[in-house]
Structure 1
Amino acid sequence: MIAIVKGSASEEQLGHFVQWIENRGLKTDVSRGEDETIVGIIGDTTQIDPFLLESMDIIERVQRVTEPFKKANRKFHPEDTVIDCGYGVKVGGGNFQVMAGPCSVEGRNLIEIARAVKAAGATMLRGGAYKPRTSPYAYQGMGEKGLDLLMEASAELSMPVVTEVMDPRDVQTFLDHGVHVMQIGARNAQNFTLLKEVGKTQVPVLLKRGMSETIDELLMGAEYIMSEGNPNVMLCERGIRTFETRTRNTFDVNAIPVLHHLTHLPVIADPSHSTGYTRYVRPAAYAAVAAGADGLEVEVHDNPSQAWSDGAQALTPEQFDDAMRRIALIREAVCADLPEEE
């Protein structure tokens, strides 16, 4: 249930209303927009008479919300959420960012890749220090040494770092290293213990869509994080598993405008995991940008044929540079202000 507060209401009146709701065992989520203030009422709202609320002096109207996700719901929070990822890099609300770097941190070549992607226009550095792999015999990442290298590159280039956390026990390690954005990968998209643990922090979280997740399930994953007190969640469409076998996954470009309709959270697209092949990464990236994504996460490697993981889907620095120039043109065309109607 949401209550739209009248513009004439004072902060004191709003505070009394919120307290009145919370005294009845419910939670509230206050969203202050440019035009109106909305109070989201979370819990068993059947005990609240909407007509009683509408009779209160400060309430304009009351609306029931049927979706199970509340804090992530645009009805509760009409304004786009803007997330500060560090070094002045903001995502959402018209702020478009590109996260780029190798699938996994391999060593000193990380800094060369980081310099190349920044020169091409990337604003955030991605790289895996801990790697979830289907085979237990595959490369699992450098662990803390990888985090050290990521943070070293971050400090040199003033770029926020995006890297995946896999275990609730490692969250504190990520905090101690100063990781700017903690990524939850597709395999952990419904690891609710992990979601709740990152939710106890205020560090931005990039939540990837699970391999067979519905959009509503993705949003409920975000709800787990936000319900613990962390509002800084970005959603990532990274392809879903279908009957198609010609690509690694099926890129659900539909999800981008659907998520923008349903939620105020930023939406990022990952064309690398969506397609699985270098030749398809750039076209998928262009489609995501045209569909309104708030950012991209792209794998870039200086020598993809020698990459320790996922080299088949990595762009070279030269290919990435070409992609960034084309992405700028697409954004200029799609995001340009339309002429006002006379």
Structure 2
Amino acid sequence: MIKLYDNYVFMSDGGDEEKDRLYSRKFRKKSIIDVSGVRIGEGLKIAAGPCSVENEEMILDIARSVKAAGADMIRGGAFKPRTSPYSFQGLGEDGIKYLVEAKEETGLPIVTEIMNPAYYRYFDGVDMLQVGSRNAQNFDLLRFLGKQKKPVLLKNGMGNTAKEWLETAEYILSGGNGNVVLCYRGVRGIENSTRFTMNVGSIIYAKSETHLPICADPSHASGRRDFVESMALASVAAGADMLEIEVHNDPERALSDADQQITPFDLKRIIEKARALKRELDAWSKQQY
């Protein structure tokens, strides 16, 4: 069987073997995903912003702050999948509108979560669509995104193996959308000293198996702002091409995930350390070949 993908033709025997996978490094060694001029896969890119867009003034202030700290993109939740139906669910369409205002002022591309294909009409001004952990195996949503052109930031399901994470990307790729960045945010296990278990081995595995860029989310993995820096640096050491970090100007008063959000001041320090580490690792790697 001959398959066509992104102007490349390759052979498939129709079986369930690794060589048939569009995410495989056997198909392509490396992909760069362009998100409105931010080229993920080159250097270390940073998406930063609040867990939730709470109001217009708040997201504008945070967008200015994260840009000054060195972030490449603004993140923020408008449609929020929460564990409890009584928790803050986000501002919905208004949240998207405020994010677009922040983009227009700062020039930072937007990454925000989409939960349902029916909401897609609200996302015209959004640059990158995020699929959260709870929707990582929402196959109808994944198939829908495979038919769109917008880049997708795809998180692993909290109970998924690394291989299952890659397979969820295949749903999008096989639909014709090759603009996928994988984001590792930890898994749920027996360890409870952190919110989730940040198994950097999953990042290493993914880097060895796929040409897609890898992002890491140390905020959700740790659940603690004092652990975010260490987890971010560990992720970069494991090969992450991008970090997504939750930032709030007043974390203690955040309407969601208050414990894991850091300040813009802390973000600046983390970005400086993470990019310095990335440069050293890249320079060392070039010397080996």
TM-score normalised to structure 2 length: 0.95
* Alignment match, 1:77: 28
* Alignment match, 1:15: none
CA offsets 1:213-260 (integer angstroms, 9 cap, x no match): 011111111110111110000001000001011110000111112111
Greater Cα offset, 302-311 or 319-328: 319-328
Q: Where does the alignment leave 5 or more consecutive residues of structure 2 unmatched?
A: none
* Alignment match, 2:71: 122
* Alignment match, 1:6: none
Greater Cα offset, 164-173 or 126-135: 164-173
Kept in 2, the 8 Å contact 1:171–1:198? The answer is no
Kept in 1, the 8 Å contact 2:96–2:122? The answer is no
Compared CA separation, residues 338 and 164, structure 1 to 2 (3 A): closer
Higher RCO structure (Cα 8 Å, ≥6 apart) = 2
Compared CA separation, residues 301 and 72, structure 1 to 2 (3 A): same
Kept in 1, the 8 Å contact 2:53–2:77? The answer is yes
Q: Does 1:178 align with 2:125?
A: yes
CA offsets 1:20-47 (integer angstroms, 9 cap, x no match): x5xxxx4234776xxxxxx4224526xx
What is the CA–CA distance in structure 1 between the aligned matches of 2:94 and 2:260, rounded to whole Å? 24
* Alignment match, 1:67: 18
Please state how far the C-alpha of 1:338 moved relative to its aligned partner. 5.7
What is the CA–CA distance in structure 1 between the aligned matches of 2:142 and 2:6, rounded to whole Å? 23
* Alignment match, 2:100: 151
Kept in 2, the 8 Å contact 1:102–1:301? The answer is yes
Compared CA separation, residues 284 and 231, structure 1 to 2 (3 A): same
What is the CA–CA distance in structure 2 between the aligned matches of 1:84 and 1:164, rounded to whole Å? 18
1:279-318 matched pairs, under 5 angstroms: 279-318=226-265
Compared CA separation, residues 76 and 338, structure 1 to 2 (3 A): closer
Q: Does 1:28 align with 2:13?
A: no
Q: Does 1:133 align with 2:82?
A: yes
1:169-318 matched pairs, under 5 angstroms: 169-174=118-123, 177-318=124-265
Please state how far the C-alpha of 1:66 moved relative to its aligned partner. 2.2
* Alignment match, 1:101: 49
What is the CA–CA distance in structure 2 between the aligned matches of 1:74 and 1:339, rounded to whole Å? 19
Compared CA separation, residues 325 and 250, structure 1 to 2 (3 A): same
Equivalent pairs, count: 288
CA offsets 1:312-338 (integer angstroms, 9 cap, x no match): 000011111111121122123212256
Kept in 1, the 8 Å contact 2:6–2:176? The answer is no
Q: Where does the alignment leave 5 or more consecutive residues of structure 1 unmatched?
A: 1-20, 33-38, 46-64
CA offsets 1:143-188 (integer angstroms, 9 cap, x no match): 00000000110111111100000012112321xx321000000000
Kept in 1, the 8 Å contact 2:237–2:281? The answer is yes
Kept in 1, the 8 Å contact 2:43–2:278? The answer is no
What is the CA–CA distance in structure 2 between the aligned matches of 1:255 and 1:135, rounded to whole Å? 29
Q: Which has the larger radius of gyration?
A: 1
Q: Percent identity?
A: 46
Q: Match for 2:3: what amino acid?
A: K
Q: Match for 1:328: what amino acid?
A: R
* Alignment match, 1:323: 270
* Alignment match, 1:55: none
Compared CA separation, residues 256 and 172, structure 1 to 2 (3 A): same
Please state how far the C-alpha of 1:95 moved relative to its aligned partner. 3.4
Kept in 2, the 8 Å contact 1:195–1:224? The answer is yes
1:162-173 matched pairs, under 5 angstroms: 162-173=111-122
* Alignment match, 1:5: none
Kept in 1, the 8 Å contact 2:51–2:77? The answer is yes
What is the CA–CA distance in structure 2 between the aligned matches of 1:30 and 1:306, rounded to whole Å? 45
TM-score normalised to structure 1 length: 0.80
Kept in 2, the 8 Å contact 1:100–1:300? The answer is yes
Q: Match for 1:222: what amino acid?
A: A
What is the CA–CA distance in structure 1 between the aligned matches of 2:150 and 2:207, rounded to whole Å? 22
Compared CA separation, residues 165 and 194, structure 1 to 2 (3 A): same
Kept in 1, the 8 Å contact 2:3–2:11? The answer is yes
